[in-house]
Amino acid sequence: MNIIINGTTYEVEKNTTILQACKNAGIDIPTLCHDERLKPTSACRLCLVEVEGTKNLVTSCSTMVKENMVVHTHNEKVMKTRRDVLNLAISNHPLECLSCDKSGDCKLQDYCYEYGILNGTYKGAMRTPKIDSSNPFYDYDARKCILCGLCVRVCDELQCSNAIGFEDRGFEANVSTPFNEGLINSKCVSCGNCVSVCPVGALTPKGQKFRHWETSKVRTTCSYCGVGCQMDLVVKGKKIVDVEPAMDAINNGLLCVKGKFAYKFINHPDRLKTPLIKRNGKFEEATWDEAYRYITKKATEIKENYGPNSFAGLTSARCTNEENYLFQKLFRAVIGTNNIDHCARL
């Protein structure tokens, strides 16, 4: 069907939302609660557009296109309403952008800049400070929560843990756990998928301290298991400071607790970086050549004295398929035993 957006006619598929049609046409509509993977809820009201013939502005994320629909995405009425929506969103928001960990990667901050919202027109009460820091990996700061609902929906619809929901109504509404017992006592499995979708600094990884503009991203494959989730390592200098799930990949923007949060071993001072050989009862650092020579010598002695079945090989899901293939080849073809297993079966 044909629709007219800002005076230009576009051909679009049936069952397309106005938001999607605009995206296909290269027209940017602001959203705070939209995620293509989730059912639309029209919660943030920022994606409002004008459709000729309708009394009120409509939410483009949940309104389907119709034949010959005439849409205005950036006229004066729409822009003024979006400014009002942003003004209301920050009316009880602690504007701590100077020290907020999310600064530089915050959709609310970006849209306020884009729409020229400086300090907020509406001044009034602020919400009761409520911080849930009971989870070992991330914190929830209700003062910064804009109630977009993305975290609740991702936990329900994609992660299927259903650990969080909205508590209270109106001004005091916030994200909480059943009986308000804290994330640590909930069904939360600490996957961090809620943290990854939060558009503001309400859900943040614990102890995260960096400025987003100082970082770069490196796409890689998670090495914890065989699923092969894609992720972006957020790198500052030579350190990994955060991990974000890749959207355009098999894991569809999701990770588990290991992929999302278990990266600190990489820069941990206790991490082994060279082989160790025990000499006179003490481990001493060695080169790889020394280590391989030592392993070959010992393995040959053991095989000669006790036979190949005195060996057992245990390999890891954290290795690649190619590494696991080579490991079983070493045991079967070189050492001569089928005693080989894998941590995923244990």
Min. distance of Cβ 230 from ligand SF4 in angstroms?
18
Q: Which is nearer to ligand SF4, 196 or 315 (CB)?
A: 196
How far is the C-alpha of 19 from the C-alpha of 5, rounded, in Å? 11
Q: Are 203 and 242 in contact (CB under 8 A)?
A: no
3-state secondary structure of 243: strand
- Complex with ligand SF4: residue 194 or 241, whichever CB lies closer: 194
Helix axes 76-89, 107-114, angle to 10 degrees: 140
Residue type, position 29, single letter = I
202 vs 335, beta carbon nearer ligand SF4: 202
Return the H-helix or E-strand segment holding 24.
helix 18-24
CB 48, min distance to ligand SF4, A: 19
Quick one: 22 or 142, whose CB is closer to ligand SF4? 142
Strand partners, 132: 140
Smallest gap from Cβ 96 to ligand SF4, in A, equals 4
Pairwise CA distance, residues 177 & 174, whole Å:
10
Instruction: Give the nearest distance from C-beta 168 to ligand SF4 in angstroms.
Output: 13
Q: What sign does the CA torsion over 212, 217, 223, 225 have?
A: positive
User: Cβ 191 to ligand SF4, closest distance in Å?
Assistant: 4
List C-alpha distances in Å: 249 to 192, 199, 258. 17, 21, 18
Cβ-proximal residues to 64 (8 Å cutoff; 6+ apart), any chain: 15, 16, 17, 18
Indicate the residue among 193 and 251 with the shorter CB distance to ligand SF4.
Answer: 193
- Shortest separation between residue 187's beta carbon and ligand SF4, angstroms: 7
Residue found under tokens 């804290």: 182
Nearer to ligand SF4, 71 or 106 (CB): 106
Q: Radius of gyration (Cα) for the chain, nearest Å?
A: 27
Nearer to ligand SF4, 21 or 198 (CB): 198
CA angle centred on 300, ends 334 and 323, rounded to 5°:
40
Shortest distance, CB of residue 148 to ligand SF4, whole angstroms?
4
* Binding positions for ligand SF4, rule: CB under 6 A: 93, 95-97, 100, 102-103, 106, 108-109, 144-151, 154-155, 159, 161, 163-164, 175, 188-194, 197-198, 200-203
Are the C-beta atoms of 12 and 24 separated by less than 8 Å?
A: yes
Q: Please, which residues bridge with residue 230 across strands?
A: 221
